[in-house]
Structure 1
Amino acid sequence: MQQLDEKAIDIVIAWVDGSDPVLKQKRESYKPSNIVASDAITATRFASDDEIYYNIASIIKYVPFCRHIYVVTDQQKPAFIDEFAKQNICAADKIRIVDHKEIFSGYEEFLPTFNTRSIETMIWNIADVSDYFIYMNDDFFFNQSATLEDFIEKDKLILHGHWRNTAALNAKLNFRKTKSKLLGTPIQPRHTIAQMLSAKVLDMDQFFEIHHFPHIVDKTILKNYLLQHPQLLETQIKYKFRDVAQVNPITLMNHLKIQKSQAHLRADIAVNYLKNEDSVESFLSNLDNSDYKYGCIQSLDRLNSDSYQKVTAAMTNKFSAYLPSSLLTSAN
């Protein structure tokens, strides 16, 4: 068992600016000519509407035990990212940009990739990242103060979720595979299927399903398993876009920890989740609700103008003391 150093817990965030014309052109050039599942290539999957700044501000405000924040990108950089340090919002070395070329060191042949699951599979390869780190999508944020004990207790990871049987979901997947062969219809690479498959590769007949909030990762157990199973590793990272054949690497790590009795399993946790127009009002009211430790802003680009302004104004207000001045100016 690794020794936990409270001062060495890093946070890793996967980020992409899908509106970047260079990246858009690169993505289009690699898009398969055959029919692809819409969930893998939809524009909103690559959209960026300042969520990364709210995410980082929330970490600085609410996560005092975070050492470094690693932002994983593809030859990109959030426009205002350097202002956090320049304006003394955080230490000069707090935020570090990590390119895909670094995390795919030794596996450069699989680049470029536009696939979150491929990227998540390789985040253990970040140089100097802590043995335990927290992984977040760029649209996650901390809604209230967090402690290390929210993630690790007595050298065991704390995992929030619930058990689900694999049989029914696997039967559905097999039906869709058959339908796909007959009709040529693509299979949507659903989040739940990837979680189920991450248990199936370990011969588990149930899986511990998790949802959209920050997750603690044991770098060593994930790294060792993938390196010991090179065929799985290559299958994971060979797809340019999300594919139904891929497992969820975070839940793969979770299931490995569960099998080794190195995890505390806890019930699902409430998340302040902005999913669509219908959830805007509840999302806004829960920004100050201590029952919601984490938040997720999904598909902000799909809101109407009024809702968009309400959400961005509320988020800017919540984290105003921790946001770059350029962002505050642009929000007004």
Structure 2
Amino acid sequence: MHDIDTTPPDATLREGASSSPGTEDDEPQAQDTPGASEVPGTTDAREALDTPDVPSATTRAGNRNPEVSWPVRLYRRSVPVRLRRAVVARTSPAARARAKRWFTTVPSPGDALGRIRAAHAVRRHPDLFRGPDRSLRMAGGAPRAVLVTPDPTPLGARNANAARVREALDAAGVDHFSVRGRRDTSAVVAVAVAAADRARAHRALARACADAPGYVTAVEAGERLRRTAPGFRAATWRAVAEADVIRLTWYHGDPEGRLVLGPKYGCDVEFWAAGEETGDTLTAPRHNRTAEVVPRTDDPVEVSETLFTALASPARPLPPVRTRKEFARPAPEDVRFPVDAVYTWVDGHDPDWLARRAETAGHAYHEEAANAARYASHDELRHSLRSLHLYAPWLRTIHLVTDRQVPSWLDTDVPGLRIVDHTEIFSDPGLLPTFNSHAIESQLHHIEGLSEHFLYFNDDVFLGRPTRPQDFFHANGLTQFFPSPALIPPGAPNERDVPVSAAGKNNRALIEEMSSTVIGHKMKHTPHALRRSVLYEIEERFPEQHRATASRRFRSLDDLSVVSSLHHYYAFLTARAVPGQLRYAYLDISDPVVGVRLDRLLARRDRTVFCLNDTVSGEEDVEAQRALLTPFLEAYFPVPGPYERGAVSGRAWIGREAGAGAGPVDGPADGPAHRQAVGPEADGTAHGRAA
């Protein structure tokens, strides 16, 4: 456990905004969600390129999610905010919840139309929708042929789509080169075209969409997508005949129909025009990161595709692709250093661990540190690791720090995962065993082989959508930290202080001593971006206080919170860190209305990071909370990751060429509610913490 943001959840659901606790159910926050105002399945729908990846139509328990039922969405679009707030003021949360649940039983005209369209699509193109590697699923109210793979990931879908485009152009003899686009989730392939070449490229891509069912849309000004249409129909290509940028998408999903990755991870084809005067240059149809004019006749070069997306890890280079010299070198903003992740974890119900704890003299000074909620298992670690696999494939190695424990489901032989015992990081074995998370965290920089730059996670922190290293680090090595609006209380530590406040006060005293600066803010409960060298420097500069924290077996009033607060302020004052911004949600699972917030988070998927935290519940609350959280986590992160025993690793698929990655299971022509994505398009063990 580290220094969490104790601001009420309502105030942390949206950056820079707050709402009163009683209005959360019906506040019009959907307006903040990219694409949320669009009507799914309509012929004039537009799709923002950053539409949330995999919106879910199901609630935590597998029923229809009331937050995405069509009457609720229609109500939020059509009723003015002032009237909606008046309704909230005059009705109870329970009444609104009942109404929303009833709305989920109202048949959706869009669903009915979608089923009709799906049946028509199967009759018209039976071969495209059936086979061991394909499934028909509804996405945005439209039937979509989905390529099935055991472990679909955003990076894998992006790479597979780009590979299909390149293969099609190569087979037709159409010259092309990769471009450094402005988004990391979609690839960009440029085609140097005369009028005849454009038609030839269209024919080649149409054949690729017929071989494996692909979809096409024109990319308009402002990076907006027109309605996605089947690329295996001639009418689609007539509609995009004059478009300077088109996006090719092959939908990817898992065998069970729980995850669909769509146009957000497609491949853009740009048609670069020859210079008007001499014809010896090519000009881009839109802005990119590097060069918008290149010589027409320059020789191509080959570089790893890793250079074209920040989602890829430099430690696992992608295959080479053809490009021009202008795009073949790193840019100043590229993060080129390796980044690791570190978790601390304890099985609080392990009999051996409990025996060691009982035999150790002392106890935590504050009841929060010994609360049952700290050791209740909702399988957070499993799903937090899944979130890293999906949304941070650029991480090099994950280090799991434990006290002679390993989760029973964890596959410790998977490359990129290391189990680190406390004995490996405490230079003085006399300080063990310890049950103080502040003590354990103070030793993380001693992990052998840990990268200079790394992220520290608690297992109740999750990534909610694709991230880049630049979300946490600058390319020049600076780390970013995320201050909370919550303030460190005034005065010296006292026994009424919760551990986060007491440690914050001790951090404040050290910072004031070194810089005459008084710090005031706690930190948000996010991944913490850290530098190993800064942590060593803190250990050397404050040896007495640092060792005292490491030596306390239980939380104390005199502890420092080294990695979750002190590092950030110290690094900032020594010009090695800066404040950052991150779309973030903190959900207190003891909150009576947390179920509504979970449904909303599941429907929108618009937070880069979210935390599911609890410090006040008793053992009598654990089962009810598990009934909420376990289905939610399974719905948000449904596909097992490579770190789980028996799971199919997706690392190989990340760089796999087109045509591979299809799983052996054929999905149904039309699935239950949880197989339908909402939005303009589909993209889409006991645990605990030391006291």
Q: TM-score range by the shorter chain?
A: 0.7 to 0.9
Identify the match of residue 294 of structure 1 among 606, 609, 628. 609
- Describe how 1:154-303 pairs up with structure 2 within 5 A: 154=475, 155-162=477-484, 169-171=489-491, 173=492, 176=494, 186-203=495-512, 204-250=517-563, 251-266=565-580, 269-278=583-592, 279-299=594-614, 303=621
Measure the CA separation in 1 of the matches of 2:575 and 2:566.
14
Q: Which runs of no fewer than 5 residues in structure 1 stay unpaired?
A: 86-91, 177-185
TM, length-normalised to structure 1: 0.82
User: What are the Cα deviations for residues 35-55 of structure 1, in whole angstroms up to 9, with x where unaligned?
Assistant: 832123223323333111011
Q: Which amino acid aligns with 2:587?
A: Y
- 1:179 maps to none
Measure the CA separation in 1 of the matches of 2:526 and 2:486.
19
- 2:391 maps to 62
Measure the CA separation in 1 of the matches of 2:368 and 2:382.
25
For residue 74 of structure 1, report the CA deviation from its aligned partner: 0.2
Report which of the two has the higher share of helix: 1
Please say which structure displays the higher CA radius of gyration: 2
Measure the CA separation in 2 of the matches of 1:126 and 1:194.
23
- 2:458 maps to 137
For the structure 1 residues 224 and 265, does the alpha-carbon distance in structure 2 shift closer, same or farther, using more than 3 Å as the test? same
TM, length-normalised to structure 2: 0.41
Q: Which amino acid aligns with 1:308?
A: R
Q: Which amino acid aligns with 1:193?
A: A
For residue 317 of structure 1, report the CA deviation from its aligned partner: 2.5
The reply on whether 1:321 has 2:639 as its aligned counterpart is yes
Measure the CA separation in 2 of the matches of 1:190 and 1:110.
20
For residue 261 of structure 1, report the CA deviation from its aligned partner: 2.4
- 1:32 maps to 362
For residue 197 of structure 1, report the CA deviation from its aligned partner: 2.1
Q: Which runs of no fewer than 5 residues in structure 2 stay unpaired?
A: 1-333, 648-684, 686-691
1:11–1:69 CA contact under 8 A, matched in 2 = yes
For the structure 1 residues 304 and 235, does the alpha-carbon distance in structure 2 shift closer, same or farther, using more than 3 Å as the test? closer
For residue 309 of structure 1, report the CA deviation from its aligned partner: 2.4
User: What are the Cα deviations for residues 45-71 of structure 1, in whole angstroms up to 9, with x where unaligned?
Assistant: 233331110111111111011111111
The reply on whether 1:52 has 2:377 as its aligned counterpart is no
For the structure 1 residues 160 and 296, does the alpha-carbon distance in structure 2 shift closer, same or farther, using more than 3 Å as the test? same
- Describe how 1:104-143 pairs up with structure 2 within 5 A: 104=426, 106-143=427-464
- 2:410 maps to 81
Measure the CA separation in 2 of the matches of 1:325 and 1:233.
38
- 2:424 maps to 102
1:135–1:214 CA contact under 8 A, matched in 2 = yes
For residue 282 of structure 1, report the CA deviation from its aligned partner: 0.2
- 2:99 maps to none
- How many residues of Structure 1 are paired with residues of Structure 2 in the alignment? 303
Measure the CA separation in 2 of the matches of 1:139 and 1:163.
20
Identity of aligned residues (%): 22
1:272–1:286 CA contact under 8 A, matched in 2 = no
User: What are the Cα deviations for residues 273-301 of structure 1, in whole angstroms up to 9, with x where unaligned?
Assistant: 24314223202321343431112222497
For the structure 1 residues 302 and 100, does the alpha-carbon distance in structure 2 shift closer, same or farther, using more than 3 Å as the test? farther
2:338–2:396 CA contact under 8 A, matched in 1 = yes
For the structure 1 residues 20 and 188, does the alpha-carbon distance in structure 2 shift closer, same or farther, using more than 3 Å as the test? farther
User: What are the Cα deviations for residues 220-256 of structure 1, in whole angstroms up to 9, with x where unaligned?
Assistant: 0111220343211211111111111111102111111
For residue 303 of structure 1, report the CA deviation from its aligned partner: 4.3
1:208–1:255 CA contact under 8 A, matched in 2 = no
The reply on whether 1:16 has 2:346 as its aligned counterpart is yes
1:206 partner SS? coil
For residue 316 of structure 1, report the CA deviation from its aligned partner: 1.4
TM-align CA RMSD: 2.7
